[in-house]
Amino acid sequence: MNDLNMKSLEAKVVVLGSQGVGKTSVVIRYVGGMFSKAVSPTIGASFFTYKLTLEQYRVKLQVWDTAGQERFRSMAPMYYRKANAAMLVYDITSLESFYDIKDWVKELKKNVDTPIVLCLLGNKSDLDSGRKVSKEDAAEYASSINALFYETSALKNTGIEDAFLQVSKQLIHLYETVPNSGMGSLISQQPPDMFAGSQALKLPDRQEPGQQQTSESNCAC
């Protein structure tokens, strides 16, 4: 394919879910192609980028892997408010972690009012003998919230590639159909200039923080 016909797309993906479900492992498997049993709990949030080519698009995913620990919970809005897609990860051997997803979805519904691609991931599918969440229940729930659904294993590397690929497809669809999706096109982006002040450097966000604040206070009235 001719390079000139390629379009570029930059999108933010946030990964949410309880501590220990395998968020970091899934992201590292996808971005870095590895799995480590001794992965260390995320502090704050980690930032990964991944580039792929899909349907005439060069897609750059900016993936925010958030920490599941209680003390970082209050930081989550900072990441999901600007996200174009959210990966909701639970552990198929933990019912609790599946219920937590419902809380996340409630929270997203309340705080996000622009289109966002949702994808439910039931991770640790290699641990089928300890399964507590049935595939059917999860799939049913996923369709009820209009989310994609995959069972994945970061250990066995199953489902992860597919999930990110489908999410990327939906992101492209979103980009083409919703004019103000907030996703950046790499081509139109200004070359960053260190001394032009911080405004010029900001990558396109789905919402400006200021607008967020006002829309919130409007709701409260």
Partner 1 sequence: MATEIREAEQNASVSDSDSGQSDFIETNEIPGKSSNTLLVANDSFEDLSYAELNNTIVASPMGTINSLVKKKAKRSLSLPEREHVEDTVSESEVDDSEVETSEICDDSQVDMIEARVTELSLQETTSQTADAQIPHLMTNTDTDYVNSPEWKRQKKHIFILSESGKPIYSRHGNEDKLVTIMGVMQALVSFVADSNKDTLRSIVAGDHKFVFMTRDHLTFVGVTRGKESTQQMFLQLTYMYNQVISILTHSTLTRIFKQHRNYDLRRPLSGAEKFFDNLLNLMDVEPGLLLTSVRCLPLDSNVRDIVSQTIAQHAKVKDLVFALIIAQNQLVAVVRMKKYYLHPMDLHLILNLINASESFKAAESWTPICLPKFDAAGFLQAHVSYLDEECQTCLLLLSVDIEAFYTLSECKAKIQERLIKYNALAAINNSLKRNSYSIQQCSISDLRHFLYKSRSTAQYTSPELEAPYNTKEEKERLFGLYYYLHDRIHTSGRTLKILFHVGAYETLLGWVTTGFELYAVFGPLVTKMSAIHAVNKLLRWIKKEEDRLFILSSVTF
Ligand X SMILES: Nc1nc2c(ncn2[C@@H]2O[C@H](COP(=O)(O)OP(=O)(O)O)[C@@H](O)[C@H]2O)c(=O)[nH]1
How many angstroms separate the CA atoms of 78 and 107, rounded? 13
Q: Is residue 124 close enough to count as binding ligand X by CB under 6 A?
A: yes
Strands (E), the chain: 7-16, 45-54, 57-66, 85-91, 117-123, 148-151
Specify whether the backbone of 46 is left (phi greater than 0), alpha (psi in -120 to 50) or beta: beta
Question: From the CB of 144, what's the least distance to ligand X, in Å?
Answer: 24
Q: Is residue 94 close enough to count as binding partner 1 by CB under 8 A?
A: no
Question: Which segment (39-47, 78-86, 137-145, 200-208) binds Mg ion by CB under 5 A?
Answer: 39-47
Q: Is residue 106 close enough to count as binding partner 1 by CB under 8 A?
A: no
Q: Is residue 123 close enough to count as binding ligand X by CB under 6 A?
A: yes
How many angstroms separate the CA atoms of 133 and 100, rounded? 13
> Of partner 1, ligand X, Mg ion, none, which one does residue 33 interact with (CB within 5 to 8 Å by kind)?
none
Of positions 42, 62, 94, 181, contacts ligand X by CB under 6 A:
42
Amino acid (one-letter) located at 43: I
Question: Which segment (21-29, 100-108, 171-179, 180-188) binds ligand X by CB under 6 A?
Answer: 21-29
Nearer of residues 25 and 84 to ligand X, judged by Cβ: 25
The interface mask with partner 1, positions 192-221, x = CB under 8 A, is x-xx-xxx-xxx----xxxx-xx-------
Nearer of residues 150 and 175 to ligand X, judged by Cβ: 150
Q: Is residue 53 close enough to count as binding partner 1 by CB under 8 A?
A: no
Residue 112 in contact with residue 105, Cβ under 8 Å? Answer: no
Burial label, 16 (beta-carbon count in 10 A; 0-12, 13-18, 19+): buried
Burial label, 22 (beta-carbon count in 10 A; 0-12, 13-18, 19+): buried
Nearest to 189 by CA among 178, 171, 202, 176: 202
What residues form DSSP beta bridges with 121? 89, 150
The terminus-to-terminus CA distance of the chain in angstroms comes to 53
Nearer of residues 55 and 103 to partner 1, judged by Cβ: 103
Question: From the CB of 107, what's the least distance to ligand X, in Å?
Answer: 17
Q: Which residues bind ligand X (CB under 6 A)?
A: 17, 19-25, 37, 39, 41-42, 68, 123-124, 126-127, 153-155
- Residues lying near partner 1 in the complex (CB under 8 A) are found at 19-20, 24, 28, 32, 38-48, 65, 67, 69-75, 77-78, 96, 192, 194-195, 197-199, 201-203, 208-211, 213-214
